[in-house]
Structure 1
């Protein structure tokens, strides 16, 4: 069995892709024959040069909603320039009653005079909807900094162990069988459920949050089924099995979506989903889109790597680094041994196929994107918990989303 399902050049893979907001996960339901590698062509994904990898694309034509200066994105839930972002962080937590306007209390805040009146500038920040509760405390900043530093040290320590690489020289027959079994098992159990005679009812489908997640239940059940059929998972204590599923499945959904197939039917009228009732009118559907699209280049390059990484991440006892809750696993050491065995298999495969330098490059890019995914999943968790509609969600989905 050929484990190299797709093949593109290294240069194509390393180039970063821009997410396309017209994509929709529900399109995946419509065709069982078209492979995910066509996503790049279908959405005409632009590529960046190698030396621009990991550089954020400059957002043009944005204006600060406070002073009108050039802006580059959202800060504290509103589009602002860097100056107003820093100003808000410094002053939003102060008592506004202690400030005074030297004029009539209704200054017009512009890029030229924004420094003249602190009172009117902070008043305008609040008036346009900037959120002071989103300002992180020093304790939160230090915690986040510590998490990132720990991850970097761990990554560097793994990649600098020469004996680790020296031991990985050949793929034995057992390793090849394991790789083929992983591919076969994933393809057998995680294929998306089909919808017969599907017809999009309208261009934009507005869904309450519980309806949005209930529609995803079949895909989640299939992903759980895949992990349940792994022999290593079956050897775990039943409580540990349940805990891994409960804590990790929701975090892996965007990566799993990148692995799934996507249609390209020009004659089909697709549905774009807008989640309604979320705080600040956030569209969770779009958030999942963007997260999934960041992993599509990996899938297009070599889906087996992502299938192995899914297993490695699943056998992690604290996958969401922003979660301070600790869970005691009955077989924590055994879980770590399982994870280590799959890490070794991944390294063995990548080094044999691509060489050490390229394997390190691939791993580094994946870790960088996964850290970003972790922060976004933590934000999604917060949005979900603030939504009253979640009381109507399916009982299994409550468990997966950690609402019960």
Structure 2
């Protein structure tokens, strides 16, 4: 008994000494080295499945420029595999999948075949839990069609929220380097908001559905939705980098706006626990919103020339986000997440109503709307 207790204590000590690090491929938490590179289990399995046979078959639809990280690692198999090789994974370190036939007994062959059959079945059962790629859609068991997966992939490349997250991380590091009394001051928050809004231009300029609309309809949608998408993307980035965890942040929000806006912003900070794909879909749905904004807007009505086309685009993206949620979660979790999204939309609407009184935000959004309009007209 004493020896057993001693072994358990030793094992616990060993486990406690493990140093967690990041997967070199996707930056997920990782502990061990596989095929010569520190990597997580999903990347290990991905390399093992694809390194030998699919290197020549895979193809990137975006010229090999896909950024691979925890949330996007399933979007492009080609770029993920190339990153595996670039980081130093070696095919030579793969173990053979089959035992030596000369040394395998007949009984062992039967057992091996049974294990392979079981393993294949388990793989097929587990496949829907991963984000299918454009190149491997034949193995996708979700309710999303090929066109819908293509739309998600195109959207992911259309508006790269990771550049915004990188900017947010840099902003957080700069603030942490300052003395506590000088962190998250109003001028810094205003400047960050302006940069985040400027990065949002791609959401409109690179979305083919938006570009396909008439110039007048684009202008009307921009004027009525940019404040929504700007508010959502700015708060989402700050939430993701942890800035919204600090009471100082909300104190300074109150200083550059007012107390009622600060309280609603604080509530929004508890409602943004979505992955990046869901957030991008939500932003696109916002960008095609046709609801009447007379509560806060100077425009009394929205006179869109092709309402039928815009409603069709709305339906497309709303169905897409619903199917993606069903793919990612079970039905009960999907309903809950969809309810959380609606709750988030109402909170953003409340923020925008209050921000109409904030002159610097109104001036910045009006300026960017005009710039986006001009860019789209020049590209027509």
Instruction: Report the TM-score when normalising by structure 2.
Output: 0.48
Higher helix share: 2
Larger Rg, first or second structure (1 or 2): 2
Tell me: higher relative CO, structure 1 or 2? Use CA pairs within 8 A at least 6 residues apart: 1
Instruction: Report the TM-score when normalising by structure 1.
Output: 0.45
